[in-house]
């Protein structure tokens, strides 16, 4: 029984880790701006395309960092152009802007790539086969959880121990007061988007090694699932996002193992609804009260 489940469990941990790297971007941005960054999934997709084109011209040792840099620039630009002007606008406006950016990015990618699925290049070592117990899988399945944990731990340390981390925490608790206290809001928000985009870029390298077809809309579903993971773990909590993502990744694959592939996506949304109804603050989130 374990033998038949093993490949699914491994796939679950692998994709869960990849979702976690995307989820961190959502939870950071939501914590600070109270914005569901609908465009985050498309930034993830763009990172995939960056690699497709760069790897064709450059060796991996150059392509990999360049992909991260380009993705970060993209995320930074999106924030400056589409979100910053709306910081004082009602919440719905900025969310609509995020949807608009998502729409634009998808259309842009379609235009630039012609709409055909592109093959993600094989990154050295990651694509190799490896035997774990009775299951045969790719090296990336092992690399992902390790990379995820390292990055998440690094991020948590950053938030807890550094000055910029403290600034981020302050802004997420009380935006206006943080500003009044002299915290450079623009820097904090930019750093947030930079971190989120960078992690999405790394996540994309791991994800597309497994699911090699890159299309303009390929990032929508992982993006949505990563967001659910962030909510499930408790929006604003980084370890929560990681744990939520792992749980989703594993359950999703177990459902596939049970033969109900059609529902593996729907499961994530059903989970979302249960969480929102039973415990909206998620596993590790905090409650807030509105003053009357």
Partner 1 sequence: MKKTGNRRLIISLAVVALIYVAGFIVEQTCGSKSMAVTVLQKGAVYALIAVSMNLLNGFTGLFSLGQAGFMLIGAYSYAILTIPMAKRAAVYQYYDGGIVQFTIGMIPALLVAGVVAALFAALIGMPVLRLKGDYLAIATLGFAEIIRAFIQWDAIGPLTNGSNLLKTYPTLKTAMPGNTVLFTFIVVGICIGLILLLINSTYGRAFKAIRDDEIAAEAMGINLFHHKQMAFVISCFFAGIGGALLAMYQGTLQANGFKSAMTYEILLIVVIGGLGSVSGSIIASFLFIACSEWWLRFLDAETMIGDFKVPLLAPGFRMVAFSVVIMVVVLFFRKGIMGDRELWDLGSRRKAKGGSDIK
CB of 211 or CB of 269, closer to partner 1: 269
Q: Does residue 272 bind partner 1 (CB under 8 A)? A: yes
Q: What angle do CA 209, 213, 215 make, to 5 degrees?
A: 125
At 273, list the tokens: 């609804």
Q: Does residue 116 bind partner 1 (CB under 8 A)? A: no
Q: Which of 125, 273, 279, 286 binds partner 1 (CB under 8 A)?
A: 273
The runs of H, that is alpha helices, within the chain are: 2-33, 40-55, 60-78, 91-113, 139-161, 163-173, 175-180, 185-210, 220-233, 238-257, 262-278
Q: Which of 110, 135, 212, 254 binds partner 1 (CB under 8 A)?
A: 110
Q: Does residue 92 bind partner 1 (CB under 8 A)? A: yes
Q: Which stretch binds partner 1 (CB under 8 A): 46-54, 129-137, 157-165, 267-275?
A: 267-275
CB of 4 or CB of 93, closer to partner 1: 93
Under a CB-based contact definition with an 8 Å cutoff, are residues 226 and 26 in contact? yes
At 265, list the tokens: 């996506």
Q: Which of 58, 77, 87, 103 binds partner 1 (CB under 8 A)?
A: 103
**From the CB of 281, what's the least distance to partner 1, in Å?**
10
Q: Does residue 111 bind partner 1 (CB under 8 A)? A: yes
Pairing relationship of beta strands 129-132 and 118-119 according to DSSP bridges: unpaired
Q: Does residue 77 bind partner 1 (CB under 8 A)? A: no
End-to-end CA distance of the chain: 56
Q: Which stretch binds partner 1 (CB under 8 A): 17-25, 50-58, 244-252, 258-266?
A: 258-266
Rounded distance between C-alpha atoms, residue 258 and residue 116, angstroms: 32
- Please choose, from the candidates 211, 221, 232, 229, the residue with its C-alpha nearest in 3D space to the C-alpha of residue 278: 232
CB of 32 or CB of 55, closer to partner 1: 32
Q: Which of 66, 69, 96, 139 binds partner 1 (CB under 8 A)?
A: 96
**Total count of residues recorded for the chain:** 292
Q: Which of 159, 228, 229, 247 binds partner 1 (CB under 8 A)?
A: 228
């Amino acid at each position: 029984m374990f033998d038949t489940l093993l490949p699914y469990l491994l796939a679950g941990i692998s994709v869960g880790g990849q979702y976690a790297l995307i989820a961190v971007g959502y939870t950071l941005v939501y914590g600070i701006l109270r914005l569901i960054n609908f465009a985050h999934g498309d930034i993830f997709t763009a990172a995939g395309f960056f690699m497709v084109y760069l790897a064709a011209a450059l060796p991996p040792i150059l392509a990999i960092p360049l992909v991260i840099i380009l993705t970060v620039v993209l995320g930074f630009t999106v924030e400056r152009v589409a979100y910053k002007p709306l910081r004082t606008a009602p919440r719905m406006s900025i969310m609509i802007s995020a949807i608009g950016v998502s729409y634009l990015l998808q259309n842009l990618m379609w235009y630039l790539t012609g709409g055909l699925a592109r093959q993600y290049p094989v990154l050295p070592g990651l694509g190799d086969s490896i035997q774990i117990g009775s299951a045969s899988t790719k090296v990336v399945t092992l690399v992902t959880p390790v990379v995820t944990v390292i990055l998440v731990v690094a991020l948590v340390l950053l938030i807890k121990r550094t000055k910029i981390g403290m600034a981020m925490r302050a802004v997420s608790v009380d935006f206006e007061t943080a500003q009044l206290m002299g915290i450079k809001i623009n820097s904090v928000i930019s750093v947030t988007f930079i971190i989120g985009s960078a992690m999405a870029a790394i996540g994309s390298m791991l994800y597309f090694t497994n699911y090699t077809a890159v299309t303009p809309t390929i990032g929508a579903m992982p993006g949505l699932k990563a967001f659910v993971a962030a909510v499930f773990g408790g929006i604003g909590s980084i370890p929560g996002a990681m744990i939520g993502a792992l749980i989703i990744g594993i359950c999703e694959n177990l459902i596939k193992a049970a033969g109900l592939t059609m529902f593996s996506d729907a499961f994530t949304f059903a989970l979302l609804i249960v969480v929102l109804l039973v415990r909206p603050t998620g596993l590790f989130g905090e409650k807030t009260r509105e003053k009357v």
